[in-house]
């Protein structure tokens, strides 16, 4: 069943920020998201990790909420939840509260983004917290292999960097760098505001104008060139470079994949369906073949990571050290089998139903809907509703999915591999994606 039709209102505020309002009748909660189009991709190399560091430090206090306790209590004291995240192309601040507390949620999030108190002493204390977070990622093989894969697939481009940064660059970041970066990049032209749930659009707009718009700087005449992103990623070079990291453990964690189209490309929906058939869930081909039939992995799946001008399609599995190369070959065999032999009867229909159902579940609540609309607006520049997405999915034919599968098949230079764990046959594993 398709998601219920939504009434979404969109406008550009006087400052240049985009406002998206999505009332959900019958709900009691409201979710507010401030999405800024800036992340690790936009950072100079010497300040890698500054977007993520800034996301941390703003929670230490603002002009109105003087310390971290005041910030958290302002939302948690109402029974609400609040958090933030930093990705390669966006930084998001969000809160979910009862509908009657919309004004407070807007006020707190506006303060965090636009009026933080960046105290040098707090910066030094929080630096150690960020170091510990980075250590946590490096200690977890599934996270470390993702970092290694990004380095392999983006080959020196800013997209190769993890949003957490690195110890050397984080030591360079002090209060002046954080404030300068925030002032240069937290600008209205890069901001999308989404409010979804128990709202009256008229009231929500008034609150945005009062609580947020009044704090935003007026639009400047010059173009938005404050961010640096290194330009589009260059084509993958040859020969293929693997990233193999030796670690003690019981499993080898593998990621193998290639470049794919960007987020807003015309083949977006065919790629999503291909990914669903191949590696989404326990009914996918990878799960049924590699786990159920061959017993090669406990966890195996595929995924896409798409950006505004490029993307990556990848397969993940964790397997025994002596089965690593076998597992990698088996995963690619499933992709080749799909491309060569086509889809089974009703397989595409099942994938469409699976995606439609997940979309309905995601967008039935205020938080999921706010996230969906915000990502859609910020990453594509447009705004498709959930029911419009369903229409696009239903229009995809089998020939489009199979054509895309053939385009993604490995060649000697197109696929990359990353592995973390007790690797026994380095040459055999690296050769698995070049056969």
Same fold, 9-215 and 243-434: yes
Domain 243-434 -> CATH class: alpha beta
Contact 160, 151 (CB under 8 A): yes
Q: Residue 224: its pLDDT value, please? A: 55
Tell me which H or E stretch contains 102.
helix 102-114
Backbone angles phi, psi at 260, to 5 degrees: -140, -175
In sequence order, what DSSP letters do the residues of 365-430 get, joined into one string?
Answer: SHHHHHHHHHHHHHHHSS---HHHHHHHHHT--HHHHHHHHHHHS--TTTEEEEEEE--S-HHHHH
- pLDDT 10s digit of each residue in the chain, 435 long? 444 568 899 999 999 999 999 999 999 999 999 999 999 999 999 999 999 999 999 999 999 999 999 999 999 999 999 999 999 999 999 999 999 999 999 999 999 999 999 999 999 999 999 999 999 999 999 999 999 999 999 988 999 999 999 999 999 999 999 999 999 999 999 999 999 999 999 999 999 999 999 889 876 654 555 555 668 888 887 767 799 999 999 999 999 999 999 999 999 999 999 999 999 999 999 999 999 999 999 999 999 999 989 999 999 999 999 999 999 999 999 999 999 999 999 999 999 999 999 999 999 999 999 999 999 999 999 999 999 999 999 999 999 999 999 999 876 678 999 999 999 988 888 888 876
Instruction: Label residues 31-44 b or e (16+ Cβ within 10 Å = b).
Output: bbbbbbbbbbbbbe
Q: In terms of DSSP H, where are the helices of 212-263?
A: none
The structure tokens listed for 292 are 């159920």
Backbone angles phi, psi at 277, to 5 degrees: -65, -45
Q: Residue 306: its pLDDT value, please? A: 93
Burial of residue 189 (number of CB atoms within 10 Å: 0-12, 13-18, 19+) = middle
Residue written as token pair 């707190």: 108
Contact 381, 405 (CB under 8 A): no
Domain extents in the chain: 9-215, 243-434
Q: From CA 361, how far away is CA 380, in angstroms rounded? A: 22
Q: From CA 241, how far away is CA 259, in angstroms rounded? A: 14
Q: Residue 322: its pLDDT value, please? A: 94
Nearest to 278 by CA among 329, 200, 213, 334: 334
Radius of gyration of the chain (CA): 23
Residue written as token pair 């979404």: 8
Strand partners, 306: 311
Q: How far from chain centre, in Å, is Cα 72?
A: 24
User: Which option is the CATH number for 9-215: 3.40.50.720, 3.30.830.10, 3.90.870.40, 2.40.10.10?
Assistant: 3.30.830.10
The beta-strand segments (E) located in 235-322 are 243-246, 252-260, 300-306, 311-319
Contact 254, 419 (CB under 8 A): yes
The structure tokens listed for 171 are 């030591």
Q: From CA 318, how far away is CA 426, in angstroms rounded? A: 16
Q: From CA 22, how far away is CA 363, in angstroms rounded? A: 11
Angle between helices 366-380 and 347-363 (to 10 degrees): 110
Angle between helices 324-341 and 398-408 (to 10 degrees): 140
């Amino acid at each position: 069943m398709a998601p219920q039709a939504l009434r979404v209102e969109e406008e550009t505020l006087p400052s240049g920020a985009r406002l998206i309002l999505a009332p959900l009748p019958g709900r009691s909660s409201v979710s507010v998201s401030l999405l800024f189009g800036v992340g690790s991709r936009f950072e100079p190399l010497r300040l890698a990790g500054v977007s993520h560091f800034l996301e941390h430090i703003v929670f230490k206090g603002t002009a109105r909420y003087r310390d971290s306790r005041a910030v958290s209590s302002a939302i948690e004291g109402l029974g609400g939840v609040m958090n933030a995240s930093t990705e390669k192309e966006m930084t998001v601040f969000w809160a979910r509260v009862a509908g009657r507390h919309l004004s407070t949620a807007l006020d707190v999030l506006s303060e965090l983004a636009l009026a933080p108190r960046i105290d040098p002493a707090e910066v030094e204390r929080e630096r150690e917290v960020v170091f510990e977070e980075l250590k946590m990622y490096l200690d977890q093989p599934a996270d470390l292999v993702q970092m290694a894969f990004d380095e392999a697939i983006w080959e020196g481009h800013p997209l190769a960097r993890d949003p957490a940064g690195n110890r050397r660059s984080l030591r360079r970041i002090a209060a002046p760098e954080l404030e300068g970066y925030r002032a240069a990049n937290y600008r209205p032209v890069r901001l999308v505001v989404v409010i979804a749930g128990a709202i009256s659009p008229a009231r929500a707009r008034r609150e945005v104008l009062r609580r947020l718009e009044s704090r935003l700087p007026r639009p400047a005449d010059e173009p938005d060139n404050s961010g640096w992103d290194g330009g589009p990623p260059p084509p993958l070079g040859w020969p293929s470079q693997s990233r193999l990291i030796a670690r003690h453990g019981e499993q080898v964690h593998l990621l193998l994949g290639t470049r794919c189209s960007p987020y807003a490309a015309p083949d977006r929906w065919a790629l999503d369906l291909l990914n669903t058939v191949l590696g989404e869930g326990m009914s996918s081909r990878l799960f049924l073949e590699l786990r159920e039939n061959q017993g090669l992995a406990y966890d195996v799946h595929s995924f896409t990571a798409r950006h505004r001008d490029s993307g990556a399609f990848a397969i993940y599995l964790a397997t025994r050290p002596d089965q690593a190369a076998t597992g990698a070959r088996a995963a690619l065999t499933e992709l080749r089998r799909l491309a060569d032999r086509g889809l089974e009867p009703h397989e595409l229909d099942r994938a469409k139903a699976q995606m439609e159902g997940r979309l309905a579940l995601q967008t039935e609540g205020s938080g999921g809907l706010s996230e969906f609309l915000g990502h859609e607006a910020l990453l594509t520049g447009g705004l498709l509703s959930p029911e419009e997405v369903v229409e696009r999915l239903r229009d995809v034919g089998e020939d489009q999915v199979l054509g895309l599968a053939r385009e993604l098949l490995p060649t000697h230079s197109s696929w990359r591999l990353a592995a973390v764990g007790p690797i026994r046959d380095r040459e055999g594993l690296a050769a698995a994606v070049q056969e």
